[in-house]
Copies of this chain bind each other. A is one copy, B any other.
């Protein structure tokens, strides 16, 4: 399987996504956590994102790319995503970590599905989110139990996150056609062009599962 021209783009957008997630989760932990223990717990997840960034950056360098140059085209869109979705409180921060990043990660995972195996393995490795999911789900469910009116507000918030993610994603896809092609190739790998609808069904299903896990 030859290396797709979109590979550097995929690793670069993912690297910058991890670097900016690390910074944003650190800020949310510092400014919104209700206790020092919660602050440490979210910081722990943030630091894990940084470790993922490090793996991706090193792989970009191995592929002969300059990591800074490779990431540069994605900075504006990802920074805009974070600026548009600043959580107002701790539960919003947790929902953002779980739902917002979740749908982004689904896209990356799909794009990597038909790449050279060592790239696919690396992408899978950095997308592991068990610890993050468990932490967010536990805390959000407890938060809604303590204040049932929070559920409706968080459901609206999650919808907004998805809308913003799709909006930024479209801009990235329009600006980086080779990256967009990875998704299309993945969706049509079975030979059926209608598999684009399968892709969207997969993403929607994963999103609905996350919402159900949160109880919203």
Contact = CB atoms under 8 A, between A and B. Distances in A.
Query: Chain A binding site: helix, strand, loop or mixed by DSSP?
Result: helix
Given A50-B43, A67-B37, A23 B30 contact: yes
Contacts of A51: 47
A39 B27 contact: no
Nearest to A39: B19
A98 interface: no
Question: For the complex formed by this chain, how many copies does it contain in all?
Answer: 2
Given A47-B47, A47-B50, A50-B47, A29 B39 contact: no
Given A26-B26, A27-B30, 9 more contacts: A19-B36, A19-B43, A23-B27, A23-B43, A37-B68, A40-B53, A43-B53, A44-B50, A47-B51
